Structure 1
Amino acid sequence: MPEHSKYNLNNANFGGGFSGDKGTTIGGTLNYYPSTDDAKTAKHNDSTVKTILILASNPKTTTPLRLDEEVRDIDAGLQRAKKREQFDLKQRWAVRTQDVYQALLDFKPQFVHFSCHGSGNDGLLLEDETGNVRLVDAQALAELFKVFATDIECVVLNACYSEVQAAEIAKHIPYVIGMKKAIGDKAAIKFATGFYNALSAGESVEFAYKLGCSVIQLDGIPENLTPDLKKKQ
């Protein structure tokens, strides 16, 4: 979500961020956890409960992202929603490739949200075993989501220049949202907040996408046309 597509491998600078009720720092990456215990009491065996899985990655050699703020705002919106009992928020931080498929196996989510850097055709920037950049290209992601297509309704790639990955994933998943170009932290957070607020109010994915774009514009940010919704053909 930086204002450019390429990452900086020379100046490692990661730290700071939200220090809420249940924040912990692991390996230089701050994990944000919801401030309530609702997730513990969610009826996981109830088929009406839908899981939102957030996969966050900010390799130590890349520009810091406000990932903790994004997750905090998404969670706050879900807690206020009239249908909050129908959604369960799960998170994985400092995500490596193996963490992605393991989380999909563990949680069987209906919504998968990537919050990370993107670099167009080069791929999404996840992490390797040492916290450095591990690029994952569009075809690899598409093949992974093909395997889990039965469960997943929507994938959100909240990362710069992720339209390439979105187009490939949309061959297998009903709805995929990517970014046409670079998107700033503030716009990315506003979009995510509006999108999940609408979902937890019982609205459709298409309505939620439109609201997310509108929220960016309402805040006076000229990036409301950056998110792009693709539907499975």
Structure 2
Amino acid sequence: MAKTILILAANPSDTHRLRLDQEVRDIQAGLERARRRDDFVLKQAWAVRPVDLRRAILDHKPAIVHFCGHGGGREGIALEDDSGNARLVSTEALAGLFALFASSVECVVLNACYSAVQAEAIAEHIPHVIGMSQAISDQAAMEFAVALYDGLAAGESAAFAYQLACNALQLAGIPEHQTPVLKSKSQSPQNS
């Protein structure tokens, strides 16, 4: 059975514009050309509000949840409110949500600035969680995400795909290769 990758995108109108559409397009293109493309199904939700987050996970039963958007460090990640403005969702709320889906979600990717705090909390429940230790540029976030899914769609483990994605930043001459951090439930935190 194919694993579902659920991409959740939020770029609230009161935050600076990110190229989330390009990130998702490039991930999709990589998955379509991958050797094991039939092993994955890509689902997307845009302008995600807290209710959409919950419903998307319930509806799609993903193995991998990928959030792309803005992070606020200890304050949480930025989803949208009903008006399209930023609504920070706390670390505790996110960890609590993923605790409920611990039997089905294998990996969470928080491709947002300062999201390592949330990654660490979510990793108490989910085997592999990737977050960002500091601000990350659009270019680095996109390069990292595409390479991560290239690795996963080639049949590699989450840890290998993470290392491959960090190396992709180095190969591209992007100095942010130490920004992504992998937190694993069964072992100590890693970074490149």
Q: Same fold (TM over 0.5)?
A: yes
Does the alignment pair 1:109 with 2:95? no
Q: Provide the C-alpha distance between the structure 1 equivalents of 2:25 and 2:70, rounded to a whole number of angstroms.
A: 19
Does the alignment pair 1:89 with 2:42? yes
Residue 191 of structure 1 aligns to which amino acid in structure 2?
F
Aligned mate of 1:171, from 124, 134, 140: 124
Q: Provide the C-alpha distance between the structure 2 equivalents of 1:143 and 1:61, rounded to a whole number of angstroms.
A: 27
Does the alignment pair 1:182 with 2:135? yes
Give the secondary structure class of the aligned counterpart of 2:102. Answer: coil
Q: CA deviation at 1:191?
A: 0.3
Q: What residue number does 2:79 align with?
A: 126
Q: CA deviation at 1:221?
A: 0.6
**CA RMSD, Structure 1 to Structure 2 (Å):** 0.5
Q: What residue number does 1:193 align with?
A: 146
Q: What residue number does 2:164 align with?
A: 211
Q: CA deviation at 1:135?
A: 0.5
When normalised by structure 2's length, the TM-score is: 0.96
Q: CA deviation at 1:115?
A: 0.1
Q: Deviations over 1:29-69 (max 9, x none)?
A: xxxxxxxxxxxxxxxxxxx2000000000000100000000
Q: What residue number does 1:232 align with?
A: 185
Q: Deviations over 1:125-170 (max 9, x none)?
A: 0000010110001110000000011100000000000010001000
How many residues matched? 186
Q: CA deviation at 1:100?
A: 0.4
Q: What residue number does 1:161 align with?
A: 114
Q: Provide the C-alpha distance between the structure 1 equivalents of 2:183 and 2:118, rounded to a whole number of angstroms.
A: 11
Moved over 6 A (4+): none
- Aligned-pair identity in percent equals 60
Residue 104 of structure 2 aligns to which amino acid in structure 1?
D
Q: What residue number does 1:4 align with?
A: none
Q: Provide the C-alpha distance between the structure 1 equivalents of 2:120 and 2:152, rounded to a whole number of angstroms.
A: 22
Q: What residue number does 1:18 align with?
A: none
Residue 112 of structure 2 aligns to which amino acid in structure 1?
A
Residue 155 of structure 1 aligns to which amino acid in structure 2?
V
Q: Deviations over 1:2-47 (max 9, x none)?
A: xxxxxxxxxxxxxxxxxxxxxxxxxxxxxxxxxxxxxxxxxxxxxx
Q: CA deviation at 1:196?
A: 0.2
Residue 107 of structure 1 aligns to which amino acid in structure 2?
H
When normalised by structure 1's length, the TM-score is: 0.79
Alignment of 1:1-80 (within 5 A): 48-80=1-33
Q: Deviations over 1:97-139 (max 9, x none)?
A: 0000100000000000000100101110000001011000111
Residue 83 of structure 1 aligns to which amino acid in structure 2?
R
Q: Provide the C-alpha distance between the structure 1 equivalents of 2:86 and 2:24, rounded to a whole number of angstroms.
A: 22
Residue 73 of structure 2 aligns to which amino acid in structure 1?
G
Give the gaps of 5 or more residues in structure 2: 187-192
Q: Provide the C-alpha distance between the structure 2 equivalents of 1:101 and 1:133, rounded to a whole number of angstroms.
A: 17
